[in-house]
Structure 1
Amino acid sequence: MTHNTPLSPRPLHHLAHGGRRLLTTAQLRAHGVSATETEEQCRPGGPWQQLLPGVVLLHPGPPTSEERLHGVLLYAARERAAGVPVQPGGDGQPPGPGGTEAVITGLAALTLHGFSAAPPLPSLEAIDVLVPRLRRLRSTGCARIVRTLALPTPVQVTGVPVAPVARALADAVAALTDAGAVRRLLTEAVRGGHCEPAAVVRELTRARLLSRPHVVDAVDSLLAEGRAMTEERLYRMVREHGLPDPVWNVDLRLPGGPHLGGVDAYWPEQAVALELDTRAHRQEDDALWSEYARKREHLERLGITVVHLTPRKLRDSAEQQAAVVRTALMAAGDREPAAYVVVLPR
């Protein structure tokens, strides 16, 4: 007996039962089906069909969306399916997080994440799949290969490894030229609570997409949307957790002196200021951060306590952030009186 001898020459119809409607040629060989038999079953009009190179659909009709997704993943991870581990020195790249070697991304991933602005899976001609950069694979059929230096840690959606929303957005936007479609996807990411604007901008920056005018316009709208939502969360936090009402969105100045800067909320009696950090991580961030740090240091030298909140903190732990603000307000009586400042509406 040689290594090429089928392991168990059983009738082929048993393979299509029990939910096994999609197998790689390596898995078929393990079931005792030779390459010749597989080719015969996949002939025109036959009971099987080749969905992708090395991936066989065990029925003659069109594949379901689930079969296309799993077929693309089997194709993209076919070295592992064939029993050949992907190791450094082979393809030069280790497996991804948790041993994952392929992750669905782009529009298909957004659809799986529940985006209404993403097209339904059956309407997608190709499904984007992330693989390590040095994998020897090409796009073919319904599989579109997207290479990356490092696979993101996937999210499991209905048993499918899917790229996180921000990464999937960047991969989808890279292939879109329709400004309206880009804007709708980015807006839904924020309105739907899928991710924060800063995470999206980080991925778009990493993918070098912010040189495209229609992407920049969509990002500007995204940041405005994110800012409005964060402010609403701040108003709700103050209201629902019984904090005293501040004055909102004001500029602070020394009497007859320089402008100290704007803050999102200010409690004059306690000299406590609150600022929301809704900066996006773009090229001008260093200058913005330096200006923010100078303003904070100046205010604190004047005896004004500055509380710094991020959109994520407000979204995920509003009660804890309310406690931080309450502590700062209560501690005002133990501090030296702050310098008198003029409060002006912004």
Structure 2
Amino acid sequence: MITNGPKVITAKQLEAIGMPRRTISRRCEPGGQWRMLLPGVVLLQNGEATDEHKIHAALLHSGSDSILTGVRALERYGLRNLPHTDEVHVLIPANRSVSNCGFVHIERSRRLPNPRPRSGVPTAPVHRAVVDAARRTPHKDAITAMMAESVQRGFCLPRSLADELDAGRRTGKALLRGALLPILGGARSVAEADAWRLWQRSKLPECRWNVKIFGADGTYIAQPDGWCDELGFAWEIDSLEHHAGDTGFRDTLARNARYAAAGIIVVQTLPSRLRSEPGKVLAELRAALDSARL
């Protein structure tokens, strides 16, 4: 019982299998064989606790029906664009009296989601974990990155994020709504969110985001970041990182050739210019749109 799994166990469980409390205390003393990670929760080794150890310790500390959420939950789904945090965020029933302790952030909830097992850990669904993580994140870009990746990779729908935000706590919603709005509009990255906001305040013709376009014969052309169907105009937010290397460069050239063959005017913009030179970017867009009207 105490040699398998994550090597984390409660002192009560150790006592239940016959280990005296004084022995547990002695082994958890400085320089001892074990470590007391949280009150009453023991790591059965004396080295540094891993993130996995901390997750299991947090759930033991929180009691039955507790659910992992936030950044640590999203890591278990494989999301990558996540803010750094040392805390383990756990949801518990609203009527339970458990306090924050050490690296554990406890959140009482009357809306406990149906947990999904991820490597043996009861984990909140992605849309709930994203919103819970966003509420603990002060930076809009980090929030947008989480939301965008969760949608871009098919873990949840934009509407699910909006519904979860509406159903949750009222405090702090303004920042989250501001981050979510471009995602609802079709943006799928922080750079695309910047582009979406710039277009929205530009009074330019309607633009759709991340839609696949095809030629008259049904041949696939591209999936531009922004697409003005009225004028046959495409806007690509092309980062150096994404398009660097032989493969990225070759793919970009092939895409631009398909645009040219279809008679589509395309503007390519570096993500950094959306913030450093928004006026110049808008001027370039307006000039390109004027050409598309001819």
| Shared fold (TM-score, shorter chain, > 0.5) | yes
| Structure 1, gaps ≥5 residues long | 1-14, 81-100, 241-247, 251-346
Measured after TM superposition, the shift of residue 219 of structure 1 is 1.4
**Residues 20 and 223 of structure 1, relative CA distance in 2, 3 Å threshold:** closer
Aligned 8 A contact 2:147 2:180 in 1: yes
Give the match's secondary structure for 2:186: helix
Q: Does structure 1 residue 136 correspond to structure 2 residue 97?
A: yes
Q: Does structure 1 residue 195 correspond to structure 2 residue 181?
A: no
Partner of 1:57: 43
TM score, norm. by length of structure 1: 0.53
Letter of the structure 1 residue corresponding to residue 147 of structure 2 = L
Aligned 8 A contact 1:174 1:209 in 2: no
Measured after TM superposition, the shift of residue 16 of structure 1 is 5.2
Aligned 8 A contact 1:106 1:171 in 2: yes
Give the match's secondary structure for 2:113: coil
Aligned 8 A contact 2:92 2:107 in 1: yes
Aligned 8 A contact 2:135 2:172 in 1: no
Equivalent residues in 2 for 1:1-346, closer than 5 Å: 17-19=3-5, 21-77=7-63, 101-119=65-83, 124-208=85-169, 212-225=173-186, 228-229=209-210, 231-232=211-212
Kindly report the root-mean-square deviation, in angstroms, between the aligned alpha carbons of the 2 structures: 2.7
TM score, norm. by length of structure 2: 0.62
Q: Distance in 1 between matches of 2:105 and 2:16?
A: 28
| Structure 2, gaps ≥5 residues long | 188-207, 220-227, 231-294
Aligned length: 201
**Residues 223 and 140 of structure 1, relative CA distance in 2, 3 Å threshold:** same
Measured after TM superposition, the shift of residue 76 of structure 1 is 0.8
Aligned 8 A contact 2:135 2:176 in 1: no
Give the match's secondary structure for 1:134: coil
Aligned 8 A contact 2:6 2:53 in 1: no
Letter of the structure 2 residue corresponding to residue 30 of structure 1 = A
Aligned-pair identity (%):
32
- Compare CA radii of gyration and give the structure with the larger one: 1
**Residues 32 and 207 of structure 1, relative CA distance in 2, 3 Å threshold:** same
Q: Distance in 2 between matches of 1:143 and 1:126?
A: 6
Instruction: Give a deviation string over 1:172-203, Cα, whole Å, max 9, x none.
Output: 11111101101111111111111101100011
**Residues 173 and 20 of structure 1, relative CA distance in 2, 3 Å threshold:** closer
Measured after TM superposition, the shift of residue 124 of structure 1 is 3.1
